[in-house]
Amino acid sequence: MSIQVTNLSKIYGAQRAIDGISFNLKPGEIVGFLGPNGAGKSTTMKILTGYLQPTSGTARIAEFDVLEQPMQARRTIGYLPEHNPLYLDMYVREFLLFSGKLYGLGGDSLTQRVNEMVTMCGLEAEKHKKIGQLSKGYRQRVGLAQSFLHDPSVLILDEPTTGLDPNQILEIRELIRTAGKNKTVLFSTHIMQEVEALCDRVIIINKGKVVSDSSLVDLSRTGGSLEDIFRKLTS
C-alpha cells in the first residue's frame, strides 16, 4: 500500500479531531478526501506528513511508519498544505533550487529537475520574479512545483485550489492530473466537480470518523449527485 492508516486518532483534551479512522490507498490511485470544515481532514494529512503525532493508531507511507521511520516516509511524500508556505522574498527559480537542495538534489540533476518543474507548472514567464509579486494562482503553481520536485511516489494536497478563480482551478486541476500519473494522490477539496474530474475514489470524513469510502462508480449507483450524497452523509 502507498498509504495505510489504521485506527488513527488525535485527541485534544476532550475533543477528538480524528477518532479511530482507517483507510488504505494503493499505488496509482487518485483519491478525494472530503468532509465539512473541522471534520479532521487537515489533521489526518498533517499526521501522514509528519507535522503532527497521533494520539494512537498507525500511519504508513510507502511501507514506512511515519513515527518510527519519519525521514524515510517524508522522502516519499510531496506535500502542499492548505496555507501554502512560501518565501515571498525569494525568486521562483531560486526557491525551487533551494528546495531541491533540501531534498538532497544537486548538480546537473537538480538544475534539470527545476527546469522540468518550471515548464510543467507553467512558470517559465514567472521564474525570475519574486514569489511575493505573483498572483495566488501562480503561487499555488510554485507550491505544486516544490511538492513535485523530488519526484515523490505519494502526493498529499490539502485544498490545492482554495481561493482560485475558475480558470486557475482548471489549470491546477490539469497540473494534478498530469503530475499524478503513476503516483498515489490524496487531496482534500470542497469542490465536487474537482472530485468527479480527477478521482477514482472518495473518502468522506465527518466529526473525526470515516463515514464513506467508495469508488465514484459505486457512489453513483446509490442515486443522486455526489453533492447530494455528501450532504446526507455529513448532515
> Is residue 180 over pLDDT 80?
no
The predicted structure's pLDDT at residue 231: 85
Mean pLDDT of 175-187: 85
> Is residue 188 over pLDDT 80?
yes
> Is residue 100 over pLDDT 90?
yes
Q: Which residue has the cell 494512537?
A: 56
Domain ranges of the chain: 1-76+154-164+183-235, 83-151
> Is residue 150 over pLDDT 80?
yes
Candidate CATH numbers 3.30.1240.10, 2.60.120.1440, 3.40.50.300, 3.90.850.10; the one for domain 1-76+154-164+183-235: 3.40.50.300
pLDDT in tens, 39-98: 999 999 999 999 999 999 999 999 999 999 999 999 999 999 988 889 999 999 999 999
pLDDT level of residue 179 (50, 70, 90 thresholds): confident
Edge-to-edge strands, sheet with 64-65:
15-25, 3-12, 56-61, 64-65
The predicted structure's pLDDT at residue 175: 83
